[in-house]
Amino acid sequence: MVQRVKSGTTLFCLFVLALAFPAHAQVKIAYTSSHAKAGQPVPSECIEAGKSLVTQLNRFPRPDNWTFIIACDAKAWSNLKADAGLSFNGLDVYGATNLKNSTTLLSGDTLRGKDASVLTPEHLVAHELAHIVLKNYTIRADNEQQVESLAQGWLSRKTSTQEGQ
Ligand SMILES: [Zn+2]
């Protein structure tokens, strides 16, 4: 999938998690940008989206040996979705998890809170992580209702902790 990213979209990898996670965590974050160029500084929207992802990954159960690919801008996300063949009958998609190749694709705009009226960054990440956690159980990980109900459980538990209950 990564190799098939269309020309014009630059894929670059940063191992930004060395400081954020223990060495054994083996979580990799890669970025695609519609305007990044080799040798140029990483676009600020990529950095911002990556920080948001790291923040959320520290709140919820996090997988080992997993790759997250962030499409930093709307055009990059559109290209990545098309390339991965993601279309749900015209519904908007903000993230997608492929259990077979241990990869999760995420919209950088959503991670930066631009879609918060529809989907907050924490909800997006909790939902995709729930897909990953449920693959280890007999429950079907592609059952959106079960996935979403696990994600909602995490989100509400986090809220009550914040409220000190
Ligand atoms: Zn889902």
Q: Can you give the pTM of this predicted structure?
A: 0.79
Alpha carbon 9 to its chain's center: 18
CA of 147 to the centre of ligand 1 (A): 6
- Asked if 150 and 130 count as a contact pair (C-beta separation under 8 A), the reply is yes
Is the pLDDT higher at 39 or at 102? 102
CA of 40 to the centre of ligand 1 (A): 34
Spatial distance between the Cα atoms of 133 and 126, rounded to a whole number of angstroms: 10
Token pair in block for residue 103: 């990869």
For the chain, where are the E strands, in sequence order? 10-14, 27-33, 66-71, 95-98, 103-107
CA of 97 to the centre of ligand 1 (A): 8
Question: In this structure, are strands 95-98 and 27-33 parallel, antiparallel, or unpaired?
Answer: unpaired
CA of 106 to the centre of ligand 1 (A): 12
User: Average pLDDT of 17-28?
Assistant: 58
CA of 37 to the centre of ligand 1 (A): 32
Token pair in block for residue 10: 């630059």
Q: Compute how many other C-beta atoms are within 10 angstroms of the C-beta atom of residue 147.
A: 24
Q: What average pLDDT is seen over the chain?
A: 80
pLDDT digits (tens, 9 = 90+) for 9-18: 444 443 333 3
Is the pLDDT higher at 39 or at 127? 127
pLDDT of residue 44: 94
Radius of gyration, alpha carbons of the chain: 16
Q: What are the b/e assignments for 14-32, b being 16+ CB within 10 Å? A: eebbeebbeeebebbbbbb
pLDDT of residue 42: 85
Question: In this structure, are strands 103-107 and 27-33 parallel, antiparallel, or unpaired?
Answer: unpaired
Domain 2-162 has CATH 3.40.390: yes
User: Average pLDDT of 152-164?
Assistant: 73
CA of 148 to the centre of ligand 1 (A): 7
pLDDT of residue 140: 66
Token pair in block for residue 125: 């990440």
Share of the chain above pLDDT 70, in %: 75
Domain coordinates of the chain in residue numbers? 2-162
Token pair in block for residue 56: 């959320």
CA of 31 to the centre of ligand 1 (A): 21
**Residue 55, SS3 per DSSP:** helix
pLDDT digits (tens, 9 = 90+) for 66-109: 999 999 999 999 999 888 887 766 778 899 999 889 999 999 99
